[in-house]
């Protein structure tokens, strides 16, 4: 089994395993993937939050991640673990679909829909949710 499959299985099955997250971050960064940087930043923030790290995280999001409106995200070491859709209408489907397909949502543990106004949305979720 290659390193990515092993690491991803470990991350999925043991989200609290900090060492696996850090190894994965290093592996991603060695391949030029900016997601590895986010994992490292969020780990550092969880360990010792500073204003500089918060600015670094904000800058990373500004460069690499567009959050759809009307959603709340709970991040843990570079991954969205909880996603709450506050209100959903037809114009929200494509951006939310893109979000669910983003590598950061690969290990999503909880998905909640606070208010649904677009009846076929559940079918879309079933198609794309991790």
Task: Name which residue leads in pLDDT, 69 or 60.
Answer: 60
> Is 88 strand, coil or helix?
strand
Give this prediction's pTM: 0.82
Percent above pLDDT 70 for the chain: 82
Q: What is the mean pLDDT of residues 94-113?
A: 85
In terms of DSSP bridges, do strands 79-85 and 71-76 run parallel, antiparallel, or are they unpaired?
Answer: antiparallel
Residues 129 and 108 sit within 8 Å (Cβ to Cβ): yes
Q: What is the mean pLDDT of residues 86-95?
A: 71
119 pLDDT more than 60: no
pLDDT class for 118, splitting at 50, 70, 90? low
For residue 18, which of 40, 49, 36 has the smallest C-alpha distance? 40
Task: Name which residue leads in pLDDT, 72 or 92.
Answer: 72
Find the helix or strand (DSSP H, E) in which 125 lies: helix 121-128
pLDDT class for 81, splitting at 50, 70, 90? very high
| pLDDT reported for residue 1 | 41
């Amino acid at each position: 089994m290659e390193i990515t499959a092993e690491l991803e299985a470990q991350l999925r099955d043991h989200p609290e395993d900090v060492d696996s997250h850090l190894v994965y971050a290093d592996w991603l960064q060695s391949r030029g993937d900016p997601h590895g940087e986010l994992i490292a930043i969020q780990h550092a923030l969880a360990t010792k939050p500073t204003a500089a790290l918060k600015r670094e995280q904000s800058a990373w999001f500004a460069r690499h991640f567009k959050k759809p409106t009307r959603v709340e995200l709970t991040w843990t070491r570079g991954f969205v673990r909880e996603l709450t859709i506050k209100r959903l209408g037809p114009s929200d489907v494509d951006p939310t679909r893109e979000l669910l397909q983003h590598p950061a949502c690969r290990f999503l543990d909880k998905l909640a829909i606070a208010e649904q106004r677009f009846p076929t949305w559940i079918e879309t979720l079933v198609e794309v949710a991790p």
